[in-house]
Amino acid sequence: MSHSNIVGGSTAKRVINCPASVKLVQQMPPQVESEHAARGTLLHNVIAELLEFDKRPEQCIGAQYKDQILTPELLDEKIIPALALLDEVDPEKKMEYMVETRVGFGDFLPGVFGSTDLLGRKGKRAIVLDWKFGDGVLVDAEDNPQLLFYAAAAMRTPACQWVFEGAEEIECIIVQPPAMRRWVTTPERVKQFEVELARAVRESSWPNPTMQTGDHCRWCTAKPICPEMTGAAERALKVQLAALPAEQIAMQLQQADMLEDYVKNLRALAFQMLENGQAVPGYKLVAKRGTRQWVDEEKAKAFLLKSLVEPYKELEVISPAQAEKLLKKIKMELPPELVVSISSGSTLATDDDARPAVLQIGKQLSAALSKL
């Protein structure tokens, strides 16, 4: 699932539309893998193992990637439907295929590579298939730059060329349980895409490559430092919406998602910098509002029983807040030593926020130990 830091399957659309984004993204710190991304990696690993080693799905229950574990529920929700959709592609199970294969452009585009989920061949048709396990954005297969990238790179990868030799058509497939989207194209369309990609990659090294905003900006990590995005934000701050005609308001509303994404990414970058010990002038990390919990549940139950207060609700020990309400009725107070307030994490705040900055001792210690 890896790709180069120039362009890969998931970034091909952005680079073709905005070659300048290549250098901007390379300036950004490494992205921390989210919980959703880690779950996607786990599911990709599992389905590749099932196809490569002919295992039964239930044998993979308990498979783990980082803190993500394949549960029976996740197996039924994602893996089983994905395999059923693959059976629709190859009902007679005659397709020859290879999974999780690194593909690249060799000397044609040095340093440009990616990783395909599945490449297959049935008769005169080559198949490029990508698993999508996210529940958010629905991905279409038609003219999909990611699948075209994989097809073009695979056609130049010696180990994969058998998939395309003599093929009259290429089918691009997105399997995103519970749906599947399919699009049949030609080798000529893939070659046309390759020309577009090569032009953009080569332009990205020019002194002033094309910089352009659009829906390809959605997943770009360089939004916080992109001149086009920062300029759009500054212009938006200066606009008096009440004085704008309705047509212009409608046009700017279309840009709202892009600006909201920009602000979200900007805050995430500042949070990451502060968490790693880098200063962001005027900002700090503070603890989120704490939630009260029992220091010792057994001691809390003993106190409540002694006070003739029922300590359970639906077989669970009541919370400190619930206990306070019940004790108030009998004019008693909750001893402070039974309760502790625990923050659920850190959040970004300005320097004038009254809350003290949190200390990133763990991060600093880890960094120091890594140098030993």
CATH (domain of 95): 3.90.320
Tell me the pTM. Answer: 0.67
306 and 223 within one domain: no
Whether residues 118 and 241 share a domain: the answer is: no
- 32 in the same domain as 86: yes
Identify the domain boundary among 181, 203, 225: 203
Structural domains of the chain, count: 3
For residues 228 and 120, state if they share a domain: no
Contacts 24+ apart (CB under 8 A), 367-372: 367/277
Single out the residue in 203, 228, 260 at which a domain terminates: 203
Query: Residue 236 carries which side chain, given as an amino acid letter?
Result: A
313 shares a domain with 250: no
Q: Is residue 198 part of a domain?
A: yes
CA–CA gap between residue 164 and residue 186 (Å, rounded): 11
pLDDT, position 40:
94
Question: Per the structure block, which two tokens stand in for 138?
Answer: 């629905």
At residue 371, the pLDDT reads 43
Residue with tokens 């007679």: 92
pLDDT, mean of each 10-residue run, the chain (372 residues): 83 96 91 88 96 91 94 95 96 95 96 96 97 88 97 97 97 96 97 97 95 90 85 62 67 70 80 82 80 85 85 82 86 87 76 75 49 44
Contacts of 130 (CB under 8 A, 6+ apart): 9, 116, 117, 118, 146, 147, 150, 173, 174, 175
Whether 137 and 28 share a structural domain: yes
Q: What is the DSSP string of 251-300?
A: HHHTTHHHHHHHHHHHHHHHHHHHHTT---TTEEEEEPPPEEEES-HHHH
88 falls within a domain: yes
Q: Give residue 344's pLDDT.
A: 64
Residue 370 lies in a domain: no
Same domain, 181 and 84: yes
Cβ neighbours of residue 116 closer than 8 Å, sequence gap 6 or more: 9, 100, 101, 103, 128, 130, 150, 153, 154, 160
Look at residue 25 and tell me if it is in a domain.
Answer: yes
Residue 369, in any domain of the structure:
no
**Closest by Cα among 109, 157, 118 to 7:** 109
Q: Quote the domain boundaries for residue 224.
A: 217-268
Residue 19 lies in a domain: yes
Residues 145 and 236 in one domain: no
Instruction: Based on the fold, state whether residues 105 and 166 are members of the same structural domain.
Output: yes
The closest alpha carbon to 138, from 178, 183, 89, belongs to 178
Q: Are 177 and 81 in contact (CB under 8 A)?
A: yes
Domain assignment present for residue 337? The answer is yes
Question: What span, in angstroms and rounded, lies between the C-alpha atoms of 144 and 123?
Answer: 23
Would 357 be classed as within a structural domain?
no
102 and 30 belong to one structural domain: yes
Strands (E), the chain: 64-65, 68-69, 96-104, 113-122, 125-131, 169-176, 179-185, 283-287, 291-294, 312-313, 316-317, 339-342, 346-350
* Contacting residues for 255 by C-beta, under 8 A, at least 6 apart: 232, 236
